[in-house]
Amino acid sequence: MDEKDKNEQQVPEEESNAARRIRMLGQDTEEEEDEELEIDRWGNFWYHHKWKVLMTAVFGVIIGVAVVQFAGQQNPDVRVLYGGPLYITPNESQMFCDAVESICPDFNDDGKTFVQLNDMVFMTENQLNEMIAAAEENDEDIAYDRLSNAQVQERFTFEVFGGEASICILAEEQYLDVNASGGFLPLAELFGEENIPEGAIDACGVRLSETKFWKFYGTAEMFPADAVIALRRVSTMSAITGKSKAEKLHANSAEVFRNLMEFEYPEGYVEPEEEPVPETEIP
């Protein structure tokens, strides 16, 4: 019997083709089994824990974005609250804040000044009725969301009495509503009876358009023509948020309010003369 016959007799009949190929090529079966086991192990882990892995990744992204946004936030030296029917564009808001920053100290001692304008756009019932009447007179169609307006007005009430913004620039009707509730500090307490700012309309408010600050910085024209600027009393929420903190924020706002009211033109600046109102010809 030759060698070929001996080899054929030594191969079991039930041996598979794959086993025969491994035996003939001399491959290591243990390595292949380990690789197959490793693949199955990770596949099994993913099958049982894939939702945990996905949720962990999602929360990681959310937390990362929040950290970046928080790190990029600036702590305002002073906040200004606007309430009225006119919308303020982001560019107008930035220009106004830049102007106020020029008279605002660095209260935070962070090497820069940052003023934040919180704008709350809504109409009183009178303003809304006037808008509707004007539209009807001009044969125009208007759409107005009364529910949204009421919600903003509610948030404004909370903000003007309980928020951190003490300097308020409000359309006259909004100002009168807050002042009727005793929300503003009398000008005499800030400047004395003999030094009431020019443009005062009553004991607490000043017509913004009559201040030198408004005349020098045209950015203030973004507010309603009848806008009134006033200093709110210390927040009624100070008992909850902390009285000392509220008093400190209010003192900072009072200083900026005085600077704004006592603003003087730079040396050499000449105030432009107001254009005369053309006389109406009587037919």
Work out the end-to-end distance of the chain between its first and last CA atoms, rounded to an integer number of angstroms.
Answer: 139
- Which domains are seen in the chain, by residue range? 20-71 (no CATH), 74-261 (3.40.190)
- Rounded to an integer, the average pLDDT of 10-29 is 54
Please say if the pLDDT value at position 172 is more than 80.
yes
Q: What is the pLDDT of residue 275?
A: 55
Q: What are phi and psi of 138, to 5 degrees?
A: -95, 10
Per the CB < 8 A criterion, the answer to whether 212 and 264 are in contact is yes
Rounded to whole angstroms, the Cα distance separating 187 from 152 reads 28
Neighbours of 164 (CB within 10 A): 19
More confident residue, 232 or 37: 232
Q: Is 55 helix (H, G, I), strand (E, B) or coil?
A: helix
pLDDT tens readout for residues 91-125: 999 999 999 999 999 999 888 999 999 999 999 99
Q: What is the pLDDT of residue 66?
A: 39
Please say if the pLDDT value at position 254 is more than 70.
yes
Please say if the pLDDT value at position 187 is more than 90.
yes
pTM of the model: 0.70
Rounded to whole angstroms, the Cα distance separating 9 from 109 reads 94
pLDDT tens readout for residues 86-100: 999 999 999 999 999
Per the CB < 8 A criterion, the answer to whether 81 and 115 are in contact is no
Residue 87's beta-bridge partner residues?
none
The DSSP secondary-structure symbol of 213 reads H
Q: What is the pLDDT of residue 245?
A: 85
Count of alpha carbons within 13 angstroms of residue 1, beta-carbon side: 6
The DSSP secondary-structure symbol of 13 reads T
Residue 231: band (very low, low, confident or very high) from pLDDT cuts 50, 70, 90: very high
- Rounded to an integer, the average pLDDT of 250-256 is 95
- Rounded to an integer, the average pLDDT of 182-190 is 94
Helices 146-162 and 172-180 cross at an angle (nearest 10°) of 50
Rounded to whole angstroms, the Cα distance separating 86 from 71 reads 32
pLDDT tens readout for residues 33-85: 555 545 456 566 556 666 665 666 655 555 544 333 333 456 899 999 999 99
Closest CA to 229 of 271, 194, 190: 190
Neighbours of 159 (CB within 10 A): 19
Helix (H) or strand (E) segment spanning residue 118: strand 115-121
Closest CA to 93 of 79, 108, 75: 79
Please say if the pLDDT value at position 146 is more than 70.
yes
The H-assigned helical ranges of the chain are 3-10, 17-25, 29-72, 90-101, 125-137, 146-162, 172-180, 188-191, 212-216, 238-241, 243-261
The DSSP secondary-structure symbol of 271 reads P
- Rounded to an integer, the average pLDDT of 202-209 is 96
Q: What is the mean pLDDT of the chain?
A: 79
Q: What is the pLDDT of residue 227?
A: 96
The DSSP secondary-structure symbol of 276 reads P
Rounded to whole angstroms, the Cα distance separating 41 from 47 reads 10
